Amino acid sequence: MAQSDIETYYEDGAWKNKREGTSRAFGAGYATKDEAVAAGREAAQADKVEQVIRNQDGQIGSKNSYGNDPRNVPG
């Protein structure tokens, strides 16, 4: 079974990471967005999935893919 993407988000005064489709964060809560993004990046790279990074307001700020990229896609 394929791993789920990693989502980095802000909740209850802390930055957190979770697997998409779950309601539970993994790892510690982080004081800064940069710390949470770095921890989420490590998990996404290890699992070769995408990391979705949300802004504090919940909107998607950026996405980074660490595997399973099709190579023959035009554009």
* This prediction's pTM: 0.85
Contacts with 61 (C-beta within 8 Å, 6 or more apart), sequence order: 53, 54, 55
Domain that holds residue 52: 6-65
In a domain, 57, yes or no: yes
Distance CA 66, CA 59 (A): 21
In a domain, 20, yes or no: yes
pLDDT surpassing 80 at residue 40: yes
At residue 48, the pLDDT reads 94
Distance CA 15, CA 37 (A): 9
At residue 3, the pLDDT reads 81
The pLDDT tens digits for 46-59 are 999 999 999 999 99
Q: How many domains does the chain contain in total?
A: 1
Distance CA 14, CA 3 (A): 24
